[in-house]
Structure 1
């Protein structure tokens, strides 16, 4: 089967399932190992659809987890390619996406095993505390954009025994004023900016909010797939380092 992936999260799933070699085309942000043979299609929000068609994929994996991907999905549909569109917003939906991809490419047992392993690894990171640490995960600095209620980040933090400090705000993410972030009373702000080569937590520290700041690559928090365990482990270490709330 010839596969194409239009977002990093889908490419990461395929890589974890051992299907990297079947990829004939990927977006330019995908950074899984072993992709030198695959055609690069440009950024996820600006996919070169004619190049995608030329790669002759049997299945295109798209996703709506990247804001604005609806337009790309519509263009691929108009091109008549066979496509599956993933749209997880919770951890359970992320696990189901892994199973779905496994089934689509004829690797259902591997998909089930990968989903179960990720679920178990996340569960093992849970800690009970007297007061859950309040965390803001920031996707962009100007304007400030951060994960809100309908992001998998909310459930990921809950799995760790922490709380999304912006969990009372609707949506997956939204632009915020500095005062809104202040009112959220975060103990920890995570610099996880999307699409940048270098994270700069000092920009967040300079706002003077009094919260601890840590940098965690977007690859570990911003992609609903198997690499969420990377971000979860780094979050666990950062939360433990705060000494807030008292753990058991």
Structure 2
């Protein structure tokens, strides 16, 4: 089977299901696992894939996504080319488990998919910590500041870690917030998880120096921490590790 994946999360799901050897192309941002993706042709950046390149790879299946604004334009062009598609658009951890099952069925990895999806379901069944949830601002982008809303798996990840997203009731996948909204929400921890940026390039001083943010508790207490978007922003197998990283961080302040 010849598979092309669009988005890091879909690439990582296919590889986690033991079908990395079926991949014939991935998007430019897919970087894990490096021993697999390092040898593969690239189909272009996440928000501007080259459909002609995909067609030339003669895939039996293209696994694509609607997880980021702009993906819909890629999907339209892939559909117009008549390519065989599987589309993911998860909003919660159960959706991620369901996507794993759907992908597993499509690529002949049903057993592996049931095992991996089962790990997500077991995690969801874990009791939440008894302590007061710590309000945590997860920052997808620094300027303007973009945070997750209600339709994001990050809410459950935070809950499992003993925290909460101050904007969990906002009916959006993500939203832009102002300094006034940050002060009102009063997050006690800020997690930098800048999408598409290597964690080594995260800069806490960018957050610390924001005008009007000096009274935000996380800023005043210098509680600004990096957790790569590879662990929080990609709806695939590494979210399970992301939950553990959040737990370690939050427990230090409880």
Match of 2:205 in 1: 202
Matches within 5 A, 1:14-29: 14-29=14-29
Match of 1:3 in 2: 3
Q: Secondary structure at the match of 2:138?
A: strand
Worse-superposed segment, 232-241 or 69-78:
232-241
Alpha-carbon offset, residue 138 of structure 1: 0.6
Worse-superposed segment, 25-34 or 205-214:
205-214
Match of 1:246 in 2: none
Match of 2:44 in 1: 42
Equivalent of 1:216 in 222, 227, 231: 227
Match of 1:173 in 2: 174
Match of 1:71 in 2: 73
Tell me the number of residue pairs that the alignment of Structure 1 and Structure 2 aligns. Answer: 242
Alpha-carbon offset, residue 187 of structure 1: 1.2
Alpha-carbon offset, residue 24 of structure 1: 0.3
Q: Distance in 2 between matches of 1:103 and 1:241?
A: 41
Q: Distance in 2 between matches of 1:99 and 1:128?
A: 32
Q: Secondary structure at the match of 1:231?
A: helix
Gap runs ≥5 in structure 2: none
Q: Secondary structure at the match of 1:45?
A: coil
Q: Secondary structure at the match of 1:235?
A: helix
Matches within 5 A, 1:7-156: 7-33=7-33, 34-121=36-123, 126-129=128-131, 131-156=132-157
Worse-superposed segment, 22-31 or 194-203:
194-203
TM-score, structure 1 normalization: 0.93
Q: 2:27–2:45: 8 Å Cα contact kept in structure 1?
A: yes
Alpha-carbon offset, residue 166 of structure 1: 1.1
1:240 aligns with 2:229: no
Q: Secondary structure at the match of 1:66?
A: coil
Q: 1:144–1:178: 8 Å Cα contact kept in structure 2?
A: no
Match of 2:165 in 1: 164
